[in-house]
A and B are shown apart, each in its own frame.
Chain A
Amino acid sequence: MLEIENLHARTGGQDILQGVTLTVRRGEVHAVMGPNGSGKSTLANVIAGRPGYEVTEGSVRLDGTDLLALEPEDRAHQGVFLAFQYPVEIPGVSNMEFLKAALDSRRAANGQEELSAVDFMRRARDAAGRLDLNPEFLKRGVNEGFSGGEKKRNEILQMLLLEPALAVLDETDSGLDIDALRVVAAGVNAFASPDNAVVLVTHYQRLLDHIVPDYVHVLVEGSIVRTGDKNLALELESNGYGWLADP
Chain B
Amino acid sequence: MSDQNQAVHDRLARDYSAGFVTEIESETLPPGLDEDVVRAISAKKDEPSWMTEWRLDAFRRWRTMRAPNWAHVRFDPIDFESISYFSAPRNKPKSLDEVDPELLRTYDKLGIPLHEREALAGVERPQIAVDAVFDSVSIATTFKERLRDAGVIFCSIAEAMRDHPELVRKHLGSVVPVTDNFYAALNSAVFSDGSFVYVPKHTRCPMELSTYFRINAENTGQFERTLIIADEGAYVSYLEGCTAPMRDENQLHAAVVELVALEDAEIKYSTVQNWYPGDEQGRGGIYNFVTKRGACLGARSKISWTQVETGSAITWKYPSVVLRGDDSVGEFYSVALTNNAQQADTGTKMLHIGRNTKSTIVSKGISAGRSQNAYRGRVRMNPGARGARNHTRCDSLLIGDRCGAHTFPYIESRNPSAVVEHEATTSKVSDDQLFLCAQRGIDPEKAVSMIVNGFCREVFRELPMEFAVEAGKLLEVSLEGAVG
> Using a CB–CB distance below 8 Å, which chain A residues touch chain B?
48-52, 71-73, 75-77, 80-82, 84, 87-88, 90-94, 97-98, 101-102, 105-106, 109, 141-142, 158, 162
Contacts and interface: CB of A to CB of B under 8 A. Distances in A.
B436 A105 contact: no
B198 to A, nearest CB: 38
Contacts of B378: none
Nearest to B7: A71
Interface stretch (B125-133, B278-286, B437-445): B437-445
8 contacts: A72-B4, A72-B438, A87-B436, A90-B451, A92-B457, A98-B450, A101-B450, A162-B441
Most A CB contacts (10 A, CB to CB) among B435, B437, B440, B442 go to B440
A87 B433 CA distance: 9
A106 B440 CA distance: 8
A84 to B, nearest CB: 7
B453 A92 contact: yes
B430 interface: yes
B456 A102 contact: no
A94 B443 CA distance: 18
A97 B443 contact: no
A48 B430 CA distance: 17
Contacts of B441: 73, 76-77, 102, 105-106, 109, 162
A244 to B, nearest CB: 31
Nearest to B440: A102
A214 B316 CA distance: 65
B431 interface: yes
B455 interface: yes
A71 B438 contact: yes
A73 B450 contact: no
A71 to B, nearest CB: 6
Contacts of A81: 439
B2 A88 contact: no
Given A49-B438, A98-B437, A98-B450, 10 more contacts: A51-B431, A52-B2, A73-B441, A73-B444, A90-B451, A93-B453, A93-B454, A102-B440, A102-B441, A105-B443
A92 B455 CA distance: 6
A82 B435 CA distance: 11
Most B CB contacts (10 A, CB to CB) among A48, A90, A105, A158 go to A90
A236 to B, nearest CB: 29
Nearest to B397: A91
Contact of B440 (A49, A50, A158): A158
Interface in B437-484: 437-444, 446, 450-451, 453-458
Interface residues of B, number: 29
A162 B440 contact: yes
A91 B441 CA distance: 19
A76 B439 contact: yes
B259 to A, nearest CB: 29
A51 B435 contact: yes
B103 to A, nearest CB: 39
B443 A82 contact: no
B400 to A, nearest CB: 14
Contacts of A106: 440-441
B435 A72 contact: yes
B432 interface: yes
A9 to B, nearest CB: 15
Q: Shortest 5 CB-CB distances between A and B: which pairs?
A: A92-B454, A93-B454, A51-B2, A102-B440, A76-B441
A78 to B, nearest CB: 10
A105 B438 CA distance: 10
A73 B438 contact: yes
Contact of A98 (B431, B432, B440): B440
Contacts of A158: 440
Nearest to A75: B439
A103 to B, nearest CB: 8
A73 B455 contact: no
A45 to B, nearest CB: 9
Nearest to B3: A51
Interface string B127-152: 00000000000000000000000000
A209 to B, nearest CB: 28
B451 A93 contact: yes
A93 B450 contact: yes
A75 B443 CA distance: 11
B4 A71 contact: yes
B4 A51 contact: yes
A120 to B, nearest CB: 14
A105 B453 CA distance: 18
A142 B453 CA distance: 13
Given A52-B2, A71-B4, A101-B446, A90 B436 contact: yes
Given A51-B2, A52-B2, A73-B441, A141 B435 contact: no
A67 to B, nearest CB: 13
A7 B74 CA distance: 51
B395 to A, nearest CB: 9
B230 to A, nearest CB: 32
A11 B435 CA distance: 16
A108 to B, nearest CB: 9
A220 to B, nearest CB: 27
A94 B450 CA distance: 10
Contacts of A72: 4, 435, 438-439
A141 B454 CA distance: 8
Contacts of A98: 437, 440, 450
Contact of B436 (A88, A91, A162): A88
Contacts of B444: 73
Contacts of B4: 51, 71-72
Nearest to B395: A91
Most B CB contacts (10 A, CB to CB) among A49, A97, A105, A109 go to A105
Contact of B442 (A75, A87, A92, A101): A101
B454 A88 contact: no
Contact of A92 (B435, B437, B456): B456
A77 to B, nearest CB: 5
